[in-house]
Amino acid sequence: MTVKLPRIGTAQILALAAILAINGFVSPQFFDIRLQDGRLFGSLIDVLNRGAPVAILSLGMVLVIAMRGIDLSVGAVMAICGAIAASLADDHSLVVTLAAALGAGLACGLWNGFLVAVLGIQPIVATLILMVAGRGIAQLITEGRIVTFTDPGLAFLGGGSVLGVPTPVVIALAMLALTLIVVRGTALGLMIEATGGNPRASALAGIGTRLITLAVYMWSGLCAAIAGVVAAADILGADANNAGLWLELDAILAVVIGGTSLFGGRFSVVLAVVGALIIQAMNTGILLSGFPPEMNLVVKAVVVLVVLLAQSPRLASLGLIFSRRRS
């Protein structure tokens, strides 16, 4: 049994600040923001904009992980929903397009939740099924081609802006707010933390753990669908092969960097989003620094380890010993 005291997100915020500072160092224009055609531009805005899909994914993933689960299928679900949105956009109204895409996401989540909550399959394998098959389904929808669209309504979701802020950022913020309301404005957060912490005890305390599991996977599916639509809208098309590829790992990473344990229990929605921003800031930084792109993964590995070590309870207790020695 590991018992952790709740921590506040100092480590994460510091890490983000440090990475942004380094970015500012390697690329002096990093913090420049300018207003052009009623939309904000600049590297910092870029971090937010590019980070939006993973941030949205992490909103669903954080709840799944808090329930001791994991959702490997979100990348594939992004591809499916992006493909649906792109293929419907030009012939149907935006409402129908979105309803179909988000509905597909919810259905995917329902499927995952069914496998986990009702059939009792271990989450990693249960969602692996959709991870494998989902990309096939997405390719089936696009018939293996890259489907493009021109509908301005859908395009707005990727490339537009609201009061100067890029739409993906606005959508991510809205989803963050919605998630917070759903989770902390009701008792759902407590129930998720209890179920993730000790499923048997929670079920005996009368919590409907099955229903919550279903709901949480559906939420993750919905988030993946939104992320998929945003990603498709951004490139004005759907690429079933590459949309959302390996983003499930980024989303999981964001959640863990945000301090949520993979063993379930305590979680923080906001810090998961901070985690997503850390990852994106890092990616953008490497791009700006002019390192060869081959360096990307190595730098990413190092940064991830450093951020994790900064949060390590063991390291914290070492620090405590030192500070006590000194005093």
Positions in 177-216 near other proteins (CB under 8 A) = 185-188, 190-191, 193-194, 197-198, 200-208
Query: Judged by CB, which is closer to other proteins: 48, or 194?
Result: 194
Query: Judged by CB, which is closer to other proteins: 2, or 36?
Result: 2
CA–CA gap between residue 140 and residue 106 (Å, rounded): 19
Does residue 295 belong to the site contacting other proteins (CB under 8 A)?
yes
Contact 219, 130 (CB under 8 A): no
Does residue 99 belong to the site contacting other proteins (CB under 8 A)?
no
Does residue 14 belong to the site contacting other proteins (CB under 8 A)?
no
Query: Judged by CB, which is closer to other proteins: 113, or 166?
Result: 113
- The dihedrals phi and psi of 28, each to the nearest 5 degrees, come to -55, -25
Contact 90, 147 (CB under 8 A): no
Does residue 8 belong to the site contacting other proteins (CB under 8 A)?
no
Q: Which helix (H) or strand (E) holds 28?
A: none
Does residue 38 belong to the site contacting other proteins (CB under 8 A)?
no
Beta-carbon contacts of residue 244 (< 8 Å; ≥ 6 apart): 53, 74, 75, 76, 77, 78, 79, 82, 224, 227, 228, 231
Query: Judged by CB, which is closer to other proteins: 202, or 284?
Result: 202
Q: Binder to other proteins among 152, 312, 319, 322 (CB under 8 A)?
A: 312
Pick out residues in 105-144 that bind other proteins (CB under 8 A): 115, 119-122, 124-126, 128-140, 144
Residue 161 CB, nearest approach to other proteins (Å): 33
Query: Judged by CB, which is closer to other proteins: 82, or 166?
Result: 82
Q: Binder to other proteins among 25, 178, 297, 322 (CB under 8 A)?
A: 297
Helix locations, the chain, DSSP H? 10-26, 43-66, 74-89, 94-113, 123-142, 152-159, 167-184, 188-197, 199-204, 209-235, 247-257, 269-289, 296-311, 313-326
Query: Judged by CB, which is closer to other proteins: 13, or 295?
Result: 295
Give the other-Cβ count within 10 Å of 114's Cβ.
16
Pick out residues in 207-266 that bind other proteins (CB under 8 A): 207-208, 240, 249, 252-253, 256, 261-263, 265-266
Contact pattern from residue 144 through residue 163 relative to other proteins, giving x for each residue in contact according to CB under 8 A and a dash for the rest: x-------------------
Q: Which of 276, 193, 252 is nearest to 74 (CA)?
A: 252
CA–CA gap between residue 203 and residue 71 (Å, rounded): 22
**Is the four-CA dihedral 304, 309, 311, 313 of positive or negative sign?**
positive
Query: Judged by CB, which is closer to other proteins: 167, or 202?
Result: 202
